[in-house]
Amino acid sequence: MLGAGFAALNVGVAGAQDVQGDTETTLAEPEAGQDIVVTGIRASLATALGEKRNTVNIVDVINADDVGKLPDQNLAEVLENISGIQIDRAQGVGSNVSIRGSSQNLVLINGRATTPSGDSRGGISFGDVPAELIASVAVTKVATADQLEGSVGGIVDLRTYKGLGLKAPIASIRTEMEYAEYSDSYNPRISAVFGKSFDTGIGEIGIVLSGGYSKQTVREDALNVRYAARTTVDLDGDGTSDPYLRPNYAQQFNTVRDRENKSLTGSIEWQASPELKLFVDGTYIDQSVTGAEYGVFFHQPNDISELPYLDQAQIDTMNSGGFDYRLMTSGLVGDTRLRSRNSSPTRFTESYIGAVGGEWTKGALNVKFEASRAGSNSDEAGFEMVSQYSDPSSSDFNNERGKISPPVILEMTDDLLYFAPDPDSPLWANKANPAYWSAFIARDNETRFRNVENAQRLDVKWDADLGPLRSIEIGTRFNQSNSRRDRFTQASRTFPGFSAADRPDLFDIAQDDVFADTGYQYIGGFIVPASVTQDPAAAREAFGLLPVAPQDYAASFRVKEKTVALYAKANLDTEIAGMAVRGNAGVRWVSTDQTTIGNAISSGVISQIVDKKNYKFWLPSAMLSIEPMDKVIVRASYGRSMRRPDFAQLSPSVNFPLVGDVYVGTGNPELKPQTVDQFDAAVEWYFDRNSILSIGGFYKKYHDLVTTVAIAPTLIDPAGSRFDPNNCATGIFNPVAVDLTGNVGVCVGVNQPQNAGGATLKGLEVAFQHSFTYLPGFLDGFGVIANYTYQDGKRDATFTVPGIVSGSGAAAVLPLPLRDLSKNNYNITLFYEKYGLNVRVRYTRRDPFLRTEATDLSNNLPWYQDDRAQINASVSYDVNDRFAVTFSAINLTNEPSIERAIFADGPVGQYRAADRRFVFGVRGKL
């Protein structure tokens, strides 16, 4: 299993065709018997480099020849080892993956499409795939004509274990125990692989079965602050106003997630005759996530906030994006309404993929055929309760005016954010008294996702052997997919009339160790609604909610697609002027019939919205590999790829949140797929055994880029009520939202995906690996694996910087970068392997990147992730040939995650800190 990672780390370029089995020098699938035997990282690297020298296309490959020696828990963390790939983390665990600046990737299992857990595209979630299922991973950055369309970043193909060709029966078991520091939890993991091949009277049969189980509790503390403009204060006494940004809304959360993963994969192969092989294989993953988000909202509804304490405020001149602006970086904020909350989110996802097929060979003809079905059923739910810190002696205790407002302290530096009530204020003295907390509102929602994809494929290859033309391939693929989302929501009335003292069963005490490592005393120890995951019925009854939330038809939708793909490809292999030359050229044609179905509601009457589209694309590609001298290979490639919009982006329905004063997310069935033309070139130098230095460049041209556009709300009658459904000039009326003062139905803005022009991306990738086998004595066990990626992108999209930020008082229009694009990224792994000891230390770092073009966290301006680095380490010791002990550490330096508003170097908008984790384990084989 790969429960802690891959060892045969091939960080250079390798052959996509090899992974697909399209050339004579096919990349051998990792034989399960070899995967379980710990052969050492240097042997693994030698195997990987040997495979790569015989390939054509540009692909990165990781093999599982040396099992369990990197601290990688899931697929996302495994992929971080590869150049051009950066990952994101949620609660400290690998989640999203960006390949060459794009998160719009495609995840396959054994070359077949998988389905998402939600309403996005790209396949199964990276964080849901445990590493123990994977025998090898291939990441294609430039697709060939025979490969599945659907990615403008990269194609990630997971290869599971197969039975034919086993040299001996295998049985391997690995157990681990992880300790998560913040959550103070012990998390078990176990995995196993069993396989055997049989010589029978009807041919050879190979069977492999592998699976795993893990349970994990992780914690992340988060604080975010939203900034607003103060425009009417004269700071320097010159008679003119001096605008500045100051906090007007903040949230602090203590997020705990309990994750449980059960996985199983199996394969049966039957060599029925020398010409015919048949197979059945399948993978099943059951991922459940439950948890709680304890926290508090800070809000200044009357907008006097810091003014009474202005003489204590520190207002600094900042420079971001080339603009000078004033920012309140420390001081006190008053008139704060404090509302504690608890959200109990859950996600239960079952994902599967199964296939039957075979391969028939007759002379120079090879035919592959298969039918597959992939699906995922996912239920996401969340129950949120909110209470307000109020004066129980006031007649307004059970309404907004009853609030108690202790002054709140703000402290901000370049890498720290602090926002909490003054602990010495007498107004905060009763924070732990349940009589001072009035129930405010409860919100209940559930979303069900159902995704299915059926596919049938036929591939034919003819070994032509006509001079330089080595072979010709043609094929077809039919696909039928169906994505459905159903949403169920309800919200209680505000201030139902009871306190935490009246219903102690629904309330708890918040933890007081939030951000403990910072040395600051953040808010904690206050009364907070309790988690209702186990018994939501009591909470629903207390707030007057229905036992089951009614369906929100306005947020439900369905997308159906049928595609037909045809391809042709020619493979070349010859010699020119003494140089080996290999390559391929081909084209893929894809036709898609798309149907989107949503709902419109008018005067309580539901009517269906149906939109149908058909589009066709030609996707050409060409690859070339030349060996001008011994140990040097030059590669070049071109390919066009296309990416269909996410299912949610196509939805004609509106996803109305239950909270008011935020922008509503809508879909756009008129969206066109994005396409990208990509050019790659690379030089590889195999300068020593187990060693390589490769340098490559790439250029990508995007067309019809999809971006989120914010449409601000305006009223037909500005003096009229914003709660009138007929008063929205732009934006949309949200009929279910309850705003922070209890008003139901609000005119809100819209965040909508649109095709917004094109973009370009250019970059450089450098990979290096070397084993110091020539050093004397114990020093010959040292080695290094490293890669660096530079990326620079531009796109045809802009955003408007308000005048207060630009400093001149006039708004400025600036270009937007590509999402998920970090300019500089690198990781370095230092390893030592000798005397049965394997030690590895890996350092990774990525530059800032744009998370989204518009979010309510930044008042619908851009939102960035700051640069971040992390150190992981692992140690294993082979007690004997069959038994080893392991230890790993994740996030050794306990690095926080910082997000910024408006600019990549703008004010700190969110500060997050997750677990540091330590893993102890043993592995053995029979």
C-alpha–C-alpha distance, residues 446 and 554, integer Å: 14
pLDDT of the residue at 807: 60
**What's the CA dihedral at 707, 708, 714, 715 to 10 degrees?**
110
C-alpha–C-alpha distance, residues 613 and 256, integer Å: 43
What H or E segment, with its residue span, contains residue 417? Answer: strand 416-421
Q: Do residues 139 and 59 lie in contact, with contact meaning Cβ atoms separated by under 8 Å?
A: yes
Residue 455: count other Cβ atoms within 10 Å of its Cβ.
21
pLDDT of the residue at 9: 34
Is 400 domain-assigned? no
The residue among 285, 345, 281 whose CA lies nearest residue 74 is: 285
C-alpha–C-alpha distance, residues 497 and 3, integer Å: 51
Helix, coil or strand: residue 174: strand
CA dist 433 → 215, 507, 687 (Å): 35, 11, 71
C-alpha–C-alpha distance, residues 621 and 616, integer Å: 17
pLDDT of the residue at 63: 64
C-alpha–C-alpha distance, residues 24 and 220, integer Å: 49
pLDDT of the residue at 739: 63
CA dist 760 → 100, 101, 393, 676, 704 (Å): 12, 11, 63, 9, 12
Helix, coil or strand: residue 350: strand
Q: At residue 301, what is the residue type?
A: P
Q: Do residues 351 and 115 lie in contact, with contact meaning Cβ atoms separated by under 8 Å?
A: yes
Q: Do residues 895 and 888 lie in contact, with contact meaning Cβ atoms separated by under 8 Å?
A: no
Contacts of 891 (CB under 8 A, 6+ apart): 92, 870, 871, 872, 914, 915, 916, 917
CA dist 612 → 344, 562, 643 (Å): 38, 12, 18
Is 436 domain-assigned? no
pLDDT of the residue at 34: 30
C-alpha–C-alpha distance, residues 657 and 737, integer Å: 6
Is 543 domain-assigned? no
pLDDT of the residue at 555: 83
C-alpha–C-alpha distance, residues 2 and 81, integer Å: 14
C-alpha–C-alpha distance, residues 345 and 342, integer Å: 10
Strand partners, 372: 355, 455
Report residues of the chain scoring pLDDT below 50: 1-39, 65-70
Give pTM, 2 decimals.
0.86
Q: Cα dihedral sign for 891, 896, 901, 905? A: negative
C-alpha–C-alpha distance, residues 854 and 862, integer Å: 5
Helix, coil or strand: residue 16: helix
**547-576 CB burial, b ≥16 within 10 A, e <16:** eebebbbbbbbbbebbbebebebbbbbeee
Helices (H) and strands (E) in the chain, counts: 7, 50
Is 580 domain-assigned? yes
Q: What is the DSSP letter of 29?
A: P
Q: Do residues 374 and 349 lie in contact, with contact meaning Cβ atoms separated by under 8 Å?
A: no
The residue among 896, 783, 884 whose CA lies nearest residue 842 is: 783
Using one digit for the tens of pLDDT, what is the confidence trace for 479-529? 999 999 999 999 899 999 999 999 999 999 998 888 888 888 899 999 999
Using one digit for the tens of pLDDT, what is the confidence trace for 795-822? 887 788 777 766 666 777 888 888 888 9
The residue among 614, 707, 824, 702 whose CA lies nearest residue 152 is: 702
Q: Is 704 left (phi over 0), alpha (psi -120 to 50) or beta?
A: left
Per DSSP, helices labelled H in 279-432 are: none
C-alpha–C-alpha distance, residues 411 and 409, integer Å: 7
Q: Do residues 285 and 350 lie in contact, with contact meaning Cβ atoms separated by under 8 Å?
A: yes
pLDDT of the residue at 50: 64
605-629/579-602 β-pairing:
antiparallel
The residue among 797, 783, 760, 485 whose CA lies nearest residue 647 is: 485
Q: Do residues 909 and 863 lie in contact, with contact meaning Cβ atoms separated by under 8 Å?
A: yes
C-alpha–C-alpha distance, residues 570 and 587, integer Å: 10
pLDDT of the residue at 322: 77
Which domain, by its residues, includes 768?
8-385+455-490+549-712+749-925
Backbone phi, then psi, for 526, in 5-degree steps?
-100, 165
**647-684 CB burial, b ≥16 within 10 A, e <16:** bbbbbbbbbbbbbbbbbbbbbbbebebbbbbbebbbeb
Q: Which residue, chain included where needed, has tokens 């009326």?
A: 733
Strand partners, 410: 331, 419
C-alpha–C-alpha distance, residues 272 and 295, integer Å: 62
Q: Do residues 550 and 601 lie in contact, with contact meaning Cβ atoms separated by under 8 Å?
A: no
Is 273 domain-assigned? yes
Helix, coil or strand: residue 355: strand
Q: Which residue, chain included where needed, has tokens 């905060």?
A: 428
Is 717 domain-assigned? no
The residue among 630, 638, 637 whose CA lies nearest residue 684 is: 630
Half-sphere exposure of 685 (CA within 13 A, CB side): 7
Is 448 domain-assigned? no
**What's the CA dihedral at 237, 241, 244, 247 to 10 degrees?**
90
The residue among 484, 435, 469 whose CA lies nearest residue 119 is: 484
- The CATH number assigned to the domain holding 461 equals 2.40.170.20
Is 447 domain-assigned? no
pLDDT of the residue at 26: 31
C-alpha–C-alpha distance, residues 802 and 859, integer Å: 11
Of the chain, the end-to-end C-alpha distance in Å amounts to: 14
Q: How many domains does the chain have?
A: 1
**DSSP structure string for 139-155:** EESS--TTSPP--SS-E
C-alpha–C-alpha distance, residues 863 and 359, integer Å: 50
Q: Which residue, chain included where needed, has tokens 């906090």?
A: 247
